[in-house]
Amino acid sequence: MALALDRPLSVRLRRPSGAGVFAAAGFLALALVAAVLPGLLAGDPLAADPLHVLEGPSAAHWFGTDQLGRDVLDRVVHGARHSLLIGVVATLIAVTAGLLLGLLAGLTHKYADEALSRSFDALSAFPLLLLALLFVAVAGPGTVGLVVAIGIATMPHYARVVRSQTFVVRQAHYVTQAVAFGHSRTRLVLRHVLPNVLGPIPVLAVIGLGEAILAAAGLSFLGMGPQPPSPEWGAMLSEGRGYLSVAWWTTVLPGVVVTLLVISLTVVGRHLQRRFEGRHP
């Protein structure tokens, strides 16, 4: 029928409330401080205390102590630097590579585009962890290998977005118009295509950061990341695993922190997405 509805349906999609976004942003700020100035929030993560081994949470040790008597909270706070650094650098690698390859795929014709797109498909066919594991296996364990592995494994996501965005922008009238001013192809791409393709990337990167951090923790858990005694979250989970039945806090509390960080990043990322793009994913 030609008539529109009286008013928009009053059923609203559930979205994070203002308070939730606020709390998430606060938690991220805390994590950032922990990563930059861990000494401000916690003591020495490596100070062992053989007299207080595997003690439960108390006023002195909020998160309890581990099998060597180290304060779990101190270790978690210091671990933020490892996790955030790995996550940020891996995401930067992924975004840069994704941008270049996506732009290349979007601007070239047929064969190059096909080849690139199919390789993105092949990469995303494997689960993130499995793929990263493969790269670490090739490059060897350690922080650098881990970062590169996660970067490559998350790249196709950005590359796909950039490629489809490039298709839209290069068809846009303003690019056609710019052709009429006799500008070179390189200039068109740098002045018009690239800046207009970039739009959704920062927000995607914030959400992707959580994914990268989770992958980093997972690989460290498997012993592919920073080696003990570094206070890396995944490594901590792995170390505490043997004591799970007697000292749950050595694994559960660091795990909760990782979960909260990833959720916070997602909540803030989605919020930014709504703010800047005005659409609901």
Partner 1 sequence: MTDSRVHPRTPTPDPQALPASLNGKHVPLTAADETRDAGPDARTLLVSVRELHVTFPHRRGDVHAVRGINLDIHQGECVAIVGESGSGKSVTARTLVGLAGSNAQVRSSRFEIDGRPGPFDWRTLRGGFAGLVLQDALVSLDPLRTIGAEIAEVLRVHRIGGREQRVRALLESVHVPDPDRRARQHPHQLSGGLRQRALIASALAAGPPLLIADEPTTALDVTVQSQILDLLAERHAAGETLLLISHDLAVVSRLADRVLVMRNGHIVESGPTATLLSAPTHSYTQQLLAAVPSAASRGRRLSHQPTASSTTAPNQPAPSTTPNPVPPQSSTTPNSTPRSSTAQTRAPQSSTGVRAGQAPSTSDSDQLPSGVVIEATGLRKGYGAHIVVDDVNLTVRRGEIVGLVGESGSGKTTVAQLLFGLTPPTSGSVAFEGAPWTGLTERRRRPRRRRLQLISQDPLSAFDPRWTVGRIIAEALPASIVDQDTRRRRGRSDAVQTLLERVGLGADLLDRYPRQLSGGQRQRVAIARALAPRPSLIICDEPVSALDVSVQAQVLDLLADIRDTDGTALLFISHDLGVIHHLADRVLVMRDGVVVEQGPVDDVFHNPQHEYTRALIDAVPALEVSR
In the complex, the residues that contact partner 1 under the rule CB under 8 A are: 1-4, 6-8, 172-174, 176-185, 191-192, 195-196
- The least distance separating partner 1 from the CB of residue 171, rounded to whole angstroms, comes to 10
Residue 71: strand pairing partners: 65
> Among residues 60 and 198, whose Cβ is nearest to partner 1?
198
> What distance in Å separates the CA atoms of residue 66 and residue 97, rounded to the nearest whole number?
40
* Residue 250 contacts residue 72 (beta carbons within 8 Å): yes
* Residue 145 contacts residue 223 (beta carbons within 8 Å): no
> Among residues 92 and 178, whose Cβ is nearest to partner 1?
178
* Residue 251 contacts residue 18 (beta carbons within 8 Å): no
> Among residues 160 and 192, whose Cβ is nearest to partner 1?
192
Q: Nearest 5°: phi and psi at 271? A: -60, -45
> What distance in Å separates the CA atoms of residue 93 and residue 132, rounded to the nearest whole number?
14
Burial of residue 134 (number of CB atoms within 10 Å: 0-12, 13-18, 19+): middle
Q: Which residue has the tokens 């806090």?
A: 249
> What distance in Å separates the CA atoms of residue 21 and residue 104, rounded to the nearest whole number?
36
> Among residues 8 and 140, whose Cβ is nearest to partner 1?
8
- The least distance separating partner 1 from the CB of residue 272, rounded to whole angstroms, comes to 18
- The least distance separating partner 1 from the CB of residue 205, rounded to whole angstroms, comes to 19
> What distance in Å separates the CA atoms of residue 106 and residue 198, rounded to the nearest whole number?
13
- The least distance separating partner 1 from the CB of residue 113, rounded to whole angstroms, comes to 19
> What distance in Å separates the CA atoms of residue 133 and residue 127, rounded to the nearest whole number?
10
- The least distance separating partner 1 from the CB of residue 199, rounded to whole angstroms, comes to 9
> Among residues 200 and 255, whose Cβ is nearest to partner 1?
200
3-class DSSP state of 54? coil
- The least distance separating partner 1 from the CB of residue 190, rounded to whole angstroms, comes to 12
> Among residues 138 and 179, whose Cβ is nearest to partner 1?
179
- The least distance separating partner 1 from the CB of residue 115, rounded to whole angstroms, comes to 24
> Among residues 142 and 195, whose Cβ is nearest to partner 1?
195
